[in-house]
Structure 1
């Protein structure tokens, strides 16, 4: 029987929260440490403080939700000589730094690797852009870093225009994502979508494009500043550089106790009702965060982002875990500009899942499930739809000045999509 220790950083100090014990996914259960339950809040909405072990399903929903998916997970499993379904082995291999403030390690692991930041050469960064998920998987394993999602991404430390690979328990500051091999110009697509959302008043992650050559897909990366890291209140140095504090976070699938394999809505799931209830009941500012969540969902429809699943929405905790709020919007991409993309949204609105059938009336019909009046929904929909063109044009101008010329083509397609929803 295996035992994995679970630690959580709270206000800059690491605390032992409990352990996962079992042979595999079918029987592994998480149990809080008694001292932890006497002093601190639960690590997840779906894992409230309890003296009893959580079921294998409850345990895997949260902890497996920390791991990469798809090709990245297969690649990581191969590197670790593990079965891709063996989430305990993968978690033990990558868990020294996860999303949020969680750290997981095998109880029998006596070798403590000192935190360190190793500089990456420009050639290594270029390789990361050119080789995509294969190279990012190598860095993930070497860094013992776990990042969710199916695309090739890696956590790196950024300082004064230079990139460093975190080793041991050293936290990263940015998530760096490669271009998708099948979808052209997706880095510019995502940056354009993020900037346009920000110009519309939707809080988004801070991001920038890293160009390692001639602005081709194989030469650019999207770097996103981690909202779950706090550099301003850093209290220690690693390799002579400020070490960010970890802030705890969990995505909506984890908070609702839904497996990552079910992140896309199926009939009867009622994700819309459940995510707004989550925000209403858990946010420290529920009125603000419900409006922000509504804005994100409307914006997804306006740009044709059909990959708006519940793992692309998160709650961010305060330093002491006393409260939480809706995290900034991330992973915003106009997927409908690609012919290969599905036309089914990931969250149904008023029972409708097909993008072409969604519009303002659909949101108004869903007023009861959303828990917001039709008047407010109409106000927000009109505000975003009417401001879209100007915000998009402003973003295009900014990116073209930075040398990214493909945004004209992408923005034209995005504008056509939005016009269908006005």
Structure 2
């Protein structure tokens, strides 16, 4: 964004998917936000694909959505950070972004959003004259979710280290910082990702790093917590800064972030995968879901499952698994984020629930039960001797192990 324009006086945002201009969001009087597709993009039938939520039953694009008061259409709202990370980003852009204003925040962060979408100031008139200003470069990345995490880059040359890109820089990694509420959450997720990889699932590259490896983090993003940081290579960024389109299932279903725990059930995700990709992709989802059940992950909501569009951006695939961790050590009474066969309680997920899930997802019962059984066997074969267990503190590991034993008996039974 040029020095003459701030997020608060931008009235139009042009939406790009890599180099393809797909549409525009206009801020109208009364703070309504209206999204419309570009006629040239509409003429293509909607390719490359922005989101399945915009596609009609006949395969073309739906009519432009109605303007929304004080909020963005769900697809774009899901590109923005939430909770503490959003608060920190709004403070970082204080004076340029009004608290709670989605359009302002998208205007400020739109050049570095998840995946290949960009939202750049368009040619609409400014709401008010803006005086030229000279300000220091700002962090302007966006990562969905509530955990304090930063898009970072590795410094090259002497000293190395990790830093937050400012101005036009792009991050290649996501750094997930420790939490005072959830001890050893970085080590917990690190071990869960290692287990997923050991049993044949696609996971991002990862490592545990220390706080002293970071430099130049703006004070708004500083946390006072101690512990190691989980560093993940971004799978939505390719060689040379290539942007790879991704979208989470809140975006796929057109559900706003506030409803990520209730807007759909797991069978809806499986059914969408079966239709958009293949039944085999849906069964891979079942395996990942079974892993989450066994390990006690109660936070696999709609935004923690994604499609990825490699290559020409027209053919979706199931994105690598992410946000794998055991929530049970911190929330002993936790249950599933979404409904599985009409149930959320872990201990209730017997074969009857998986059969109900299979029927609702229109998947063969035997194939679903086989995927669950094979995942149980794979976890039992790898978890107990997994080298990465060593990084998890004993108290946290004991609670995970107890849940694994309990759920192995439930799922095998």
TM bracket, shorter-chain basis: 0.7 to 0.9
| 1:78 aligns to 2:91 (yes or no) | yes
* Correspondences of 1:332-411 after superposition (within 5 Å): 332-339=324-331, 343-395=334-386, 397-398=387-388, 400=390, 404=391, 406-411=392-397
Per-residue deviation at 1:393? 3.0
1:290 is the counterpart of 2:286:
no
Q: CA deviation at 1:59?
A: 5.2
Shift of 1:221: 0.8
Distance in 2, matches of 1:343 and 1:59, equals: 31
User: Do residues 4 (structure 1) and 3 (structure 2) align?
Assistant: no
- Residue 76 of structure 1 deviates from its aligned partner by 2.2
Write the deviation string for residues 359-389 of structure 1: whole angstroms up to 9, x where unpaired.
3442123220132222222222222212223
Alignment of 1:110-149 (within 5 A): 142-149=138-145
The whole-number CA distance in structure 1 between the counterparts of 2:399 and 2:75 is 37
* Residues 62 and 342 of structure 1, relative CA distance in 2, 3 Å threshold: farther
Question: d(CA) in 1 for partners of 2:17 and 2:164?
Answer: 22
Contact 1:44–1:254 (8 Å) recurs in 2: yes
Structure 1 CA distance for aligned equivalents of residues 190 and 196 of structure 2: 10
Q: Secondary structure at the match of 1:348?
A: coil
The CA deviation at 1:19 is 0.8
Contact conserved, 2:267 with 2:340, CA < 8 A, in 1?
no
Separation in 2, partners of 1:6, 1:270: 27
Question: Residue 52 of structure 1: CA displacement?
Answer: 4.6
Aligned to 1:278: 272
Q: Secondary structure of 1:295's partner? A: helix
User: Structure 1 residues 34 and 300 mapped into 2: Cα distance closer, same or farther (>3 Å)?
Assistant: same
Task: Name the stretch that deviates more: 310-319 or 67-76.
Answer: 67-76
Give the corresponding residue for 2:76. Answer: 63
| Counterpart residue number, 1:20 | 25
> How many aligned residue pairs are there?
367
Task: Give the counterpart of 1:252 among 249, 253, 267.
Answer: 249
Kept in 2, the 8 Å contact 1:96–1:168? The answer is no
Alignment TM-score, normalising by the size of structure 2: 0.81
Preserved contact between residue 294 and residue 407 of structure 2 (Cα < 8 Å): yes
Residue matched to 2:117: 102
Specify whether residues 209 and 56 from structure 1 end up closer, same or farther in structure 2 by C-alpha distance, changes over 3 A only.
Answer: farther
1:20 and 1:30 in contact (8 A); partners too: yes
In the TM superposition, what is the alpha-carbon distance from 1:73 to its structure 2 partner?
Answer: 1.4
Measured in 1, the distance between the counterparts of 2:350 and 2:393 equals 25
Q: Can you list the C-alpha shifts for 1:134-187, whole angstroms capped at 9, x where unaligned?
A: xxxxx9x92211110001111112367632433344432111110122110000
* Partner secondary structure for residue 370 of structure 2: helix
Q: Which runs of 4+ in 1 moved over 6 A?
A: none
Cα distance in structure 2, aligned partners of 1:333 and 1:399: 13
Q: CA deviation at 1:29?
A: 1.6
Cα RMSD for the two superposed structures: 2.8
Relative distance call for 1:155 and 1:24 in structure 2 (3 A) is: farther
2:300 maps to which residue? 308
Instruction: State TM-score, norm by structure 1.
Output: 0.79
Q: Does 1:322 align with 2:327?
A: no
Residues 99-158 of structure 1, C-alpha deviation per residue, up to 9 Å, x if partnerless? 0001112226999xxxxxxxxxxxxxxxxxxxxxxxxxxx9x922111100011111123
Please tell me whether the aligned partners of residues 346 and 407 of structure 2 are also in contact (alpha carbons under 8 angstroms): no
Structure 1 contact 25–56 (Cα < 8 Å) conserved? no
Unmatched 5+ stretches in structure 2: 1-9, 214-223, 409-413
Whole-angstrom distance in 1 between the partners of 2:212 and 2:242: 33
Post-superposition CA distance 1:227-246 (Å, at most 9, x none)? 11111xxxxxxxxxxx3200
Q: CA deviation at 1:92?
A: 0.7
* 1:228 alignment counterpart: 236
